[in-house]
Structure 1
């Protein structure tokens, strides 16, 4: 089934927090955008912001075949029994269309955060007992232990805020079978100063979270790279910006490093309420 999942998500997807909006007045707009992403040839929509099956279901209902996944659902946000019920309901209505992406979030964001690896393994145990198949769940894995868990007890990994070097290391841990689908941010701006300013404004929040900063240090970045919103070196590693040729080259580097699928997040510096539909169209013409 991992092979089937790889084929169904294809080589490119869209990562979006905007598409998980709970505003009922925006339902038509969100459904229309999801249908267009499908027509553009993207294989998956990954919903950010602690999304759940409830956020995915309307988009699945508004489309014909595109896969919708959570990227991620925090194991601290919703208990495993509720997650299993949500998965089962969506699976019954739309077989094969929903992927449960799980993660352990971050200490500063979760009250009583403790033993994240044990929390994930316990959560997976409960999903097993509830009948949620391992090949329909993926983990937001950064470090070696969580990547091994992605290999052994899930369909693969959906690392967030990573580089091609991380992807190469992750592929080495996962082996050839499991899905590897990193998220990658795109700033559609050719000017270096403006692009880096937009990127830093977005990156700053993540540099307060130790799971990400530890991963950057593992990848060879220094404390100086993490200061003041991120060095040029760090920004240029975790964001694609520039002309179409440069953006294509940066995305291709993930595939060359071993990614099966790249989840593309457009970063514009906007408020997050506006769907970047024109930018998605440009990415589709460039990549898909």
Structure 2
């Protein structure tokens, strides 16, 4: 389904900076507002737009078809399409349908999600690495006429999932990770695979207010006493249970446009091909307003 020429074309088309939009925000946005704001992102010059799949909101390929139809040049990526939502044949079918309709503009990101999300639909979250390998191999075993191609990346955090991404896909799309993880992921992936990290940013000069807002939204997810892939990743990188402020400062970029641009550049210097920024705001219009404010610095 993928080839390296196709994956290399991603960076040529999308450049170095794209946008990640929270699915909760998109699900709460009227369709006409979504179309208008995605068109604004397109006009601002960002290279890509990505969003996730919650299993209780919009279906990934329907949503990403909407994003593609709302823009003229943006690359659109699933960040991620959840393997629990569909069998491998359906995942492949959805991807090749969008790849054929929008040549060069679609990227398939696949992930195993987190236990709390999977358990909400009555499934059992177990053996994510083995499950992902079997899933990818079954996708690639589909017989039929030649399909349209698109890059395929994994939501990979740990070394074994990153190794699987290097073996069977075009790269990785890590979510909620610090800059040191980008350097680690590049080492594991090698030089020729795509690395597309996510970076939440808070456009403010008030660091304390930024930390308070982040804790209110992400606090339960980042408690180092909990068991989640994000917490396991932080522990691997050396973060301890009493490092709450250090964790916030590592995962979230806040400050003025210069500080946020510097954080994006740190990811690029660490080996990222393309960095997805997620402005911290409650509504889609507010997110795009921040993207407009950041545009001249980020896309210079």
Same fold (TM > 0.5): yes
Residue 273 of structure 1 deviates from its aligned partner by: 6.1
Q: Distance in 2 between matches of 1:127 and 1:157?
A: 17
Report if aligned partners of 1:134, 1:155 keep a CA contact under 8 Å in 2.
no
What is the distance in 1 between the residues matched to 2:274 and 2:284?
Answer: 26
Matched, 1:118 2:130: yes
What is the alpha-carbon root mean square deviation over aligned residues? 2.0
Does 1:9 find its partner at 2:14?
yes
Aligned length: 280
Give how far 1:13 is off.
0.5
1:175 aligned to which of 169, 187, 190: 190
Aligned to 2:177: 162
1:36 counterpart residue number: 40
Indicate conservation of the 8 Å contact 1:19/1:47, yes or no.
Answer: no
> Quick check: 1:96 aligned with 2:108?
no
Contact 1:20 1:55 in 2 (8 A): no
Distance 1:274 1:4 in 2: 30
**1:53–1:273 Cα change, 3 Å:** same
Question: What secondary structure sits across from 1:39 in the alignment?
Answer: helix
**Distance of 1:67 and 1:19 partners within structure 2:** 21
TM-score (norm 1): 0.90
Seen in structure 2, the aligned counterparts of structure 1 residues 141 and 19 have a Cα distance that, compared at 3 Å, is same
- Inter-CA distance 275–73: structure 2 relative to 1 (3 Å threshold): farther
Between 1:25-34 and 1:179-188, the stretch displaced more is 25-34
Q: Flag structure 1 segments of 5+ consecutive residues without an equivalent.
A: 226-230
Compute the TM-score of the two structures, normalised by the length of structure 2. Answer: 0.87
Change (3 A) 1:133 1:148: farther
- Tell me whether 201-210 or 29-38 shows the greater mean CA deviation: 201-210
**Offset of residue 28 of structure 1:** 2.1
The whole-number CA distance in structure 2 between the counterparts of 1:260 and 1:188 is: 23
- 1:63-212 matches, within 5 Å, as 63-110=71-118, 111-130=123-142, 136-207=151-222, 208-212=226-230
Q: C-alpha distance in 1, partners of 2:105/2:172? A: 18
Aligned partner of residue 14 in structure 1, secondary structure? strand
Moved over 6 A (4+): 131-134
Ranges in structure 2 where 5+ consecutive residues have no aligned partner? 1-5
What corresponds to 2:232 in structure 1? 214
Counterpart selection for 2:267 from 231, 247, 254: 254
